[in-house]
Amino acid sequence: MGRLLTVTGLTTEFRTERGTVRAVNDVSYTVDESEIVGLVGESGCGKSVSQLSVMQLVPNPPGKIMAGTVDFNGTNLLKYKRESREMCAIRGRDISMIFQEPMTSLNPALTVNRQMTEVLIEHLGTEPKTAREQSIDMLSQVGIPDPGKRVDDYPHQLSGGMRQRVMVAMAMLCNPKLIIADEATTALDATIQAQLLELLYDMVNKYKTALVMVTHNLGIVARYVHRINVMYAGRIVESGTVDEIWANPMHPYTEGLLKCVPKLGEKLVPIKGMPPSLVNRPDTCPFLARCRYRQKSCFEQSCSEMTCVEGTHYTTCSVLLGGQE
């Protein structure tokens, strides 16, 4: 597999009344062709903003991408302006995004047919009649019953699960090289969530599409992804394959997330404390106040550099890596 996406030193800030919020702070990661990568972390850690930055969808003002490169298939996407013709051509055709809440992502005033065919007409120049036929076929592939009729429905006429299936269908229409699923199943009940995750997994494998799965639930990604990036306070603090991280978490935050995964017969162990303010971000490790392994040396170093544990396993924590005192 070749390298599809390389994000290097990505930094995104928001100007607020309270000060400058560095929501994404020097984030770097890669995605290979046909690979499924998980981006995991609690709410507010910068997962969604990092992906919106890749897509050049950060609203400016108040947000602005301050530094970094996003190399997609050999092209740095950040050299394009947000509304440029080149960037608009990439969104939806080469990179698709499935957003968290389909009711706010789909236009309530337009039918499913209008919104799906627009993708094909705009990006591939497909004739309207053919675009409608292809849209119906894709709705059928994602498991929507009676797609020939449902294609003319408005979003409010569909259930939450069906609306999200429409979003998956729209994302797959142009056979993109990369799909970003940003908390795509969070608003759904557990049964529908499982069905949609299986559907998304089957679709990306069928079309050999790379997938970035953004979620706060490590239990979800363990079943589907190849590699995991754990994000905290705007930075990636640990990365590696599922087996590497699941068997040997080397950052206290990752360990805490794993203990929050429900297991039969075991009590959930919450992570105590609250994430730090991203306005007045501490110079030391951002997890320091919540860490039960903290040592005197932790108050004197930033722990910002990723260090190799073994193989493709990296972490920013030097305490667990070097052994506890």
- For the cut 70, the answer to whether the pLDDT of residue 217 exceeds it is yes
- The pLDDT tens digits of the residues spanning 23-51 come to 999 999 999 999 999 999 988 899 999 99
| Dihedral-angle region of residue 279 (phi above 0 means left; psi in -120 to 50 means alpha; beta otherwise) | alpha
pLDDT for 323: 53
Structure tokens at 220: 């979800």
- Beta carbons of 13 and 147 less than 8 angstroms apart: no
pTM for the whole thing? 0.91
279 secondary structure, DSSP code: S
Q: What is the 3-class SS of 151-215, one letter each residue? A: CCCCHHHCCHHHHHHHHHHHHHCCCCCEEEEECCCCCCCHHHHHHHHHHHHHHHHHCCCEEEEEE
Rounded Cα distance between 303 and 51, Å, is 24
Domain boundaries defined on the chain: 3-94+175-275, 108-173
- For the cut 90, the answer to whether the pLDDT of residue 68 exceeds it is yes
Stretch 168-186: mean pLDDT: 89
Closest listed residue to residue 162, CA positions, set 136, 181, 143:
143
Structure tokens at 24: 């994404």
Stretch 139-149: mean pLDDT: 92
Would you give the distance in Å from CA 240 to the centre of its chain? 16
In degrees and rounded to multiples of 5, residue 20 shows phi and psi of -90, 125
Residue 282 host element (H or E): none
- For the cut 50, the answer to whether the pLDDT of residue 202 exceeds it is yes
Query: Fold for domain 3-94+175-275?
Result: Rossmann fold (3.40.50)
Stretch 48-67: mean pLDDT: 92
**Chain-wide mean pLDDT for the chain?**
89
pLDDT for 119: 93
pLDDT for 321: 67
- The pLDDT tens digits of the residues spanning 311-322 come to 899 999 887 766
Q: What is the 3-class SS of 42-75, one letter each residue? A: CCCCCHHHHHHHHCCCCCCCCEEEEEEEEEECCE
- The pLDDT tens digits of the residues spanning 259-315 come to 887 778 888 888 888 888 888 777 788 898 888 888 888 888 777 788 898 889 999
